[in-house]
Amino acid sequence: MAIHPIEYRYGTEEMKFVWSEKNRLEKLMLVEAALAKAEADIGLIPKRAAEIISKSIGLVELDRVKEIEDEIHHDMMAVVIGITEKCSDDAGKWVHFGATSNDILDTATCLQLKDAVKILEDKMVKLLDVLLTQAETHKHTVCAARTHGQIGVPTTYGLRFAIWASEVARHIERLEQLKPRLLVGQMTGAVGTQAAFGKNGIEIQKRVMQYLEIGSVDVSNQIIQRDRHAEFVMWMANTVTTLDKIGVAIRSLQRTEIAEVEESFTKKQVGSSTMPHKRNPIKSEQICGLARIVRSMVEPELLNNTLWDERDLTNSSCERVVFPEACVLTDHIIKLCTGVIENLRFYPENIRRNLNLLRGLNMGEALMIELAKRGVGRQEAHEIVRLSAMEAHETGKHFKEVLLTNPEVMKYLTEEEINNLVDPHKYIGTAVEQVEAVIEKLRKRISHIT
């Protein structure tokens, strides 16, 4: 019986598989096989034993391991016994030789994290590509910008998408930077001294990680220190917060009163059980809602680094929840956001309506700057324009009408110049050039990554 929404509602199958019981067992056994090979390489165990152990791991069944765990109440020893049962001759006695549980558990977790990171990275690159495509498509789409929820000077949709793309690109860069710190395994024994491995402990650890194609800790105690994992969980929280921000923007822009953009709405989609007309931004709302869950994982993972002495077990149960949930939900949110952005519907007529909603008042800065250029002091120009703007606001007249009757303005500007200055399409500065520069830069980065 499914209980958690991840089981039936959220997440991709590829990310769910990474954190499945089956894959977890496979990763644990891969580490055990790598350990046996490394120990055989330096003569600590017989080479024949290592070969048998490596072949035997493919025969171990999850149900049998769970059956053993039910009897002995130790998950790692259940795996060790499960492998031992499948080993011929006396090779079984060399399984897990010299290792502590977390040598295997934490290193296996690294293998899972490596797979998870690859999935997340691929999806982030796809999201970046979609954002850049929208930036290119809408680099000339002039629209009303808003500060404090109020209409300001014009901007472009291309610039909005470019800003989001730059942020996503930084997250991709951060993920690349944290990989060497996150994707490491250990083989250090009971409390980190490698005493059970003897003088060859450092070499054994090195060889194990080479077989597994991951990095190696420089030093650890019984576990890999959790600052590494906390950094990754914080990366996920930071990433989904960016997507939360995008979701909030889309939800706001889809408001009935604004209605500039809209999530895709399929032919048979139902918006409300009681209001048949509704077309709700449910995907963006889901992004915003699930982002809260991912962010909530940060504190538990930070606390997983504050263990007693060489270790305690308080991190274990916590991480069985944190790692799968955070990864599955982050993956889901990225995919969902990509689809929303890719299929976003634009309403040009509403974009134009809102751009002109203030009847020219949002062009006050353009007038002020031009008056200052013509010799009026900046502060004096600000006051002249402010008084005209307040008059237009109170009377309901178009800003241009008020300006044309203001002798202080007309001393410096002609009617034609005023017409140009209140045209929002002529006051977007370097927005187009900025967008084009971002697209060129980040397209090259995508090419490098892929």
For the annotated catalytic residues, the residue numbers are 148, 272
Give yes or no for a contact between 338 and 123, defined as CB atoms under 8 angstroms apart.
yes
CA contacts within 13 A on the Cβ side of 233: 27
Q: What is d(CA 299, CA 292) in angstroms, rounded to the nearest whole number?
A: 13
The position carrying tokens 């982002």 is 291
- Alpha carbon 204 to its chain's center: 35
Residue 152 φ/ψ, nearest 5 degrees? -115, -155
The four Cα atoms 26, 28, 34, 40 give a dihedral, to 10 degrees, of: -120
CA gap 271, 210 in Å, rounded: 53
How far does CA 172 lie from the centroid of its chain? 8
